[in-house]
Chain A
Amino acid sequence: MDYKEIEKAKKQWYDKTLSKVLDKFPERKERFVTGSNKDVKRLYDPLDLQNINYLEDIGYPGDYPYTRGVQPTMYRGRLWTMRQYAGFGDAEESNKRYKYLLKNGQTGLSIAFDLPTQIGYDSDHSMSHGEVGKVGVAIDSLKDMEILFEGIPLEKVSTSMTINAPAAVLLAMYIAVAEKQGVSADKLNGTIQNDILKEYIARGTYIFPPLPSMRLITDIFEYCSMNLPRWNTISISGYHIREAGSTAIQEIAFTLANGIAYVDAAVKKGLDVDKFAPRLSFFFNAHNDLFEEVAKFRAARKLWAKIMKERFGAKNPKSLMLRFHTQTAGCTLTAQQPDNNIIRVTLQALSAVLGGTQSLHTNSRDEALSLPSQKSVRIALRTQQVIAHESGVTETVDPLAGSYYIEKMTREIEDAVMDYINQIDKLGGAPKAIEKGFIQKEIQNSAYDYQKDVESKKRVVVGVNQYQSEEETMKDLLKVNPEIEKQQIKKLEEVKNNRAEHDVKEKLNKLKEAANSDKNVMPFILDCVKSYATLGEICDQLRDIFGEYKDSIKI
C-alpha cells in the first residue's frame, strides 16, 4: 500500500472537499468522544493501520492471539448461549421462572441469589431482615437447591451461578443435587462467578478478607480440575466495575489485572497453569458506544492471550482463549420512558455479538424500577433471538474486522489497558492496588466525571436530560411476595428439625479443622451440605477461622 499517495490524497480532500463544508456547516460539537470520553476522529483510513499487521496483531479466529474470536466458526457453528439472569423469592417461584425461560428458547440457566445468600447469612439472621428473596432466590440449605432445580435435567442444562464469597458452598450444593438426579459431577456444565477481588472493588458482597478468599478460590480451581472438567471455575468480572462507573479501558484493565492475580495465586499454590486456565472465564459489560465495545472485546481477547502465553508460559491453546459472558449495561437503563430501554439493550446486545461473546444476558426494560416482569423478560430474550436469526450479523465471523476505526480503536484500547496493568504491577498487583484504594479511586473519578457530563448535557440521556415527557407509571411491575421471608424462615426450621444434628455438628467441625489447615476444603463443604447444614452454619465455621472483611477505603 502506498501510504504517501494516500497521505497526499487525504490532504487534498482536507483542503478541497472538507474545508468547503466546514466553513459553511461547522460540526455539531467541538469534541467527539466515545462512551468512555476517548477522542474520536472525524475519519479513519488506511493511514491509521500502518502499525498494525494482520497476521501478528489480528490473525484468524481460533488462532493465537484470538483477536477475531476463540472459535474458527463462531456463530456459524453455534450461536451464543442465551442466558437470562433470574431468580427471586423462594426456590419454587424461581424454578417456575427457569422453566418459563427454557420453554421460551433460553439455552442456559443463570441463577440470581438474594443478598443474605450471597453474603452467607441464613434467612433468619438479623442482617437478613427485609432482604430475603428480594434480589434473587433465597437458598438456606440443600433442600432449597433441590427445589430450585426440580424437573430440570442437570446433565442437559448449563447453569451459571452468580455467587462469590460462598461460591464453594453453592457449588457443593449443585453437585449434591446432580448426584440425587443420578448425574455424575464430571458431566456438569456451568460456571460460578467466584470472583472476590471485584467484590472488594465494586460489588460489596464479600465475607472473608482477601487472603483466605483467594485460598477458597484456588481450592475450587484444584477441586474442579480433578472432578468437574466441564465446569468454569471463575467468571472474572468487568461488568460490575463498569457499572460502578469505570471507562471501557478501565473495565478491561482491572478485570485482566484481577485475572493475573488469580492465576498468580493458583500457580503459587502449585497448580499447573494448563490444568486450570482452560476453565477460567470472563464476564463483561455491553455499554452504549457500539464500536468502542466491539473494539474492547477484541482487545481483551488479544491481551489475555498474550498475558497467558508470555507472562505465565501457558502452552495449551485453551489456556490462552478468553471466553466470556456479557450482560447489557444495567446502569444505562432509565426509569423514565422505560420502553426506550428496549432499544438501548438491542444496540448493546448487538455490540456483544459483534464482539464475539460466548453467552449473553439482555436486561429487561423495567429494571430501573424493579426485577423484570415476565412480559419484559420475554422481550429481552426475543431481542437476542431477533439479532441471532434476523439481523444477518451471525452469518460471518467477526464482521467488523478490517474496519479502520475498529482496528485502530482495538489497538488503542490494548495500549491503554497495558499502561494500567503496568501501573498495577508496580503497586504490587491487583490485591495490593485494591488495598491501596487505587482501583476504586480511578473508578470513582470516572463515575463523577460521567455524572458531571450528564448534568451539563455534554452527554445526552434520552428521556432524562433531553426529550423528556410526562411520566406514566409503568404497570405490572414484579413484586416479590412479602411473605417469602416468613415462609423461608419456617422452611429453615423444618430442615433443622428433620436432619441428624450430631451428623451436622461432626461435619461442621471437620470443615473447621480443614479450613484451619492447608487441606482443600471442598470435600468437607460437600459433606456438610449433604448433611443439610445450612449456608449460614457453614459460612460461620469459615468466619471463625478466616475472620470477616471490613470495608475501609475512604472516598
Chain B
Amino acid sequence: MKKTKIRVLVAKPGLDGHDRGAKVIARALRDAGMEVIYTGLRQTPEQIIETAIQEDVDVIGLSILSGAHMYIFPKIIQMLEEKDMSDILVIAGGIIPNEDISELKKIGIREIFTPGTDTKRIVEFIKSHIAVA
C-alpha cells in the first residue's frame, strides 16, 4: 500500500542564516502537494536526525551557504547510517562547488541543487524517487 503524501524535512544545518532558498523550496514543495517540516536556523545534526525520525520523513533537504558542508553533511549521513535510516532520500542545495559535489554524492547525498535550479526539477526528482498513491 502506498501513502498519500510525501513528507520532506527542510533543514538548515550549522550557523548559516540565509534561508531565502529553503523557504522558497518549502513553499514549492507544499504547492506540489507535499508535507514540509521546516525547523528554522541553526540545526545540529542531532536535531535533524531526531526530527527526521519522529516525523517519519521520506526526504531530508539540507540547505547550506556557508561553506561548512564538507564537515556537516558527512556527519549527518554518518548518523543516518548509525540509526539505520539510510533509506531516507537526502538531497542538498546552496553554495556547493562542483568538486565537492562528486565527493558528497559518493557518501550518499543523492542530488545537489545549485543556484539557479528550477524548483520544478527538485519536485520531479523527489516524486521520481518516492512512490505515493
Contacts and interface: CB of A to CB of B under 8 A. Distances in A.
Given A130-B71, A204-B41, A447 B24 contact: yes
Interface in A364-380: 368-371
A2 to B, nearest CB: 50
Given A134-B68, A204-B18, A444 B23 contact: yes
Contacts of A130: 14, 68-72
A361 B42 CA distance: 28
Given A368-B115, A369-B95, A204 B24 contact: no
29 contacts: A127-B44, A130-B68, A130-B70, A131-B14, A131-B15, A134-B66, A135-B66, A199-B17, A204-B17, A204-B18, A205-B15, A243-B20, A244-B18, A244-B19, A244-B20, A334-B116, A335-B114, A335-B116, A444-B27, A447-B23, A447-B24, A448-B24, A451-B24, A461-B116, A473-B98, A473-B99, A551-B40, A555-B27, A555-B38
A267 interface: no
A134 B116 CA distance: 22
Interface residues of B, number: 34
The 6 lowest CB-CB distance pairs between A and B, nearest first, are A204-B17, A130-B71, A134-B67, A130-B68, A115-B15, A464-B116
Chief secondary structure at chain A's binding surface? loop
Interface string B24-67: 10111000000000101110100000000000000000000011
Contacts, number: 97
A203 B97 CA distance: 22
B110 interface: no
Nearest to A334: B116
B118 interface: yes
A455 B20 contact: no
Contacts of B98: 369, 473
Contacts of B71: 129-131
Nearest to A477: B97
Interface of B: 14-20, 23-24, 26-28, 38, 40-42, 44, 66-72, 95, 97-99, 114-116, 118-120
Contacts of B27: 444, 448, 555
Contact of A335 (B24, B66, B115): B115
Contacts of B14: 115, 130-131
A327 interface: no
A119 interface: yes
A437 B48 CA distance: 24
B66 A455 contact: no
B115 A551 contact: no
Contact of B20 (A115, A245, A333, A461): A245
B120 A455 contact: yes
Counting chain A CB atoms within 10 Å of each CB, which of B69, B70, B115 scores highest?
Answer: B115
A455 B118 contact: yes
Contacts of A335: 114-116
A116 B38 contact: no
A334 B72 CA distance: 25
Interface residues on A, range: 35 or more
Contacts of B41: 204, 551
A444 B71 CA distance: 29
B120 A204 contact: no
A552 B42 CA distance: 12
Given A116-B15, A455-B118, A131 B66 contact: yes
Nearest to A131: B68
A336 B14 CA distance: 26
A226 B34 CA distance: 57
Contacts of A448: 23-24, 27
Interface in A105-130: 115-116, 118-119, 121, 127-130
Contacts of B114: 335
Given A115-B66, A204-B19, 9 more contacts: A129-B72, A130-B70, A131-B14, A368-B116, A369-B97, A370-B97, A444-B23, A455-B120, A555-B27
Contacts of B72: 129-130
A116 B68 CA distance: 11
Contacts of B42: 127, 551
A203, A448, A480: residue with the most chain B Cβ atoms closer than 10 Å: A448
